[in-house]
Amino acid sequence: MDKQTELMLKYGPKDTAYAANWGEKDEPLLRKYFMKAATLGREDNPMIIMFFDQLEHKWNDHIGALEIDGQLFEIVDLAKTEDVPTVQGLQFCCLKIIKSGLSTWRYHGVGSSSLEARAYQQRLFSETEPRADMTGSGGAQGSATRVSQSMRFVGIFAASFATITVRESAVFTNSTGYTSGIMLNRQQFATNPITHSAGVAPFTVATDVNFTPEQRWL
């Protein structure tokens, strides 16, 4: 591993990502859940906290389920990884803290490359587009919020999304390509990727970038 990635893992924000498959009929419920969440604001949103809690619950071999309008729907399959924010992603965050008028983290992308994540990477290596627009359409494609000292991003990918084994994901400022815009982080689901089949069921990719992680022993 290169020195910068090692430094990022040790001293940088802690980046945790989940990729989840949902049931065949869950797409409308999923969208409805996030559209309702969007009405509750973008800071310490209880529905976003619940969403991440259920992802972690599922990861720990319990049932991970959400409820909207009295209907319960469950996570079918889950992948989790802890990878890295990128150097240029953190640089852009610092610039945004000082300077107004810059674009924001808005799009969530997924790909199938199994190349390991590094802090200097600036793209997904086998991306399938389109990216999910996390702040548009009233929450129908996901959300970008703050919970305590974390940025939490969720992208919803429709059942109609092209068939893919989700091995990588990232958050971007731009909707397509790599020649403009910045990639915040790169996640690589090395050993437990989820598989999505077009036309069957939706999937989500969720990222938590924690700026004040608890003390780690490395």
Partner 1 sequence: MKNPIDGRARDWTYMAAFREEDLPVLYDMTRRIQQTHDTSIIEDFNQKCELKLKAGSNEVVSLLSGIHIQSVNKSEDLMVNVGAQQCINIILGTSSTRWRYMHWGTPPDPGLTPNVDDEILENGSILPPSNPIDMSGLLGWREAVGMKLFFGGIRPTSVLDTSSTGGSAATNDDVGEIGVTTTNAAGYTLLNRSKFVKNRPLFNGPGAFGITDDWTNVPNVIIFSVVIEFCPMA
Min dist. Cβ of residue 53 to partner 1 (A): 19
Read off the amino acid at residue 131.
R
Q: How far is CA 83 from CA 41, 134, 161, 208, in A?
A: 28, 21, 25, 11
Residue 90 or 164 with smaller CB distance to partner 1? 90
Local structure of 91: helix, strand or coil: helix
Q: Cα–Cα distance between 115 and 143 in angstroms, integer? A: 27
**Alpha carbons 9 and 118: distance in angstroms, whole number:** 10
Q: Which is nearer to partner 1, 5 or 21 (CB)?
A: 5
- In the complex with partner 1, the residue whose CB is nearer, 149 or 180, is 149
In the complex, minimum distance from the CB of residue 29 to partner 1, in angstroms, rounded to a whole number: 26
Q: What is the closest distance, in whole angstroms, from the C-beta atom of residue 211 to partner 1 in the complex? A: 5
Element (H, E) at 171: strand 168-172
Nearer to partner 1, 156 or 184 (CB): 184
Residue 120 CB, shortest distance to partner 1, in Å, is 10
Residue 81 class from Cβ within 10 Å (0-12 exposed, 13-18 middle, 19+ buried)? buried
The count of other CB atoms within 10 Å of the CB of residue 164 is 20
| Nearest to partner 1 of 60, 218 (CB atom) | 218
Q: How far is the CB of 51 from partner 1 (least distance, A)?
A: 17
Would you tell me which residues interact with partner 1 (CB under 8 A)?
2-4, 6-8, 10-14, 42-43, 85, 87, 90-91, 93-100, 104-105, 144-146, 148-151, 210-218
Q: Using alpha carbons, list the distances in angstroms from residue 199 to 7, 29, 159, 160, 205.
A: 41, 16, 5, 5, 18
Count of CB atoms situated within 10 Å of the CB of 63 = 10
Q: Tell me how far apart the alpha carbons of residues 94 and 88 are, in angstroms, rounded to a whole number.
A: 10
Comparison of 8 and 78: residue with beta carbon closer to partner 1 = 8
Q: In angstroms, what is the minimal distance from the CB of 22 to partner 1?
A: 25
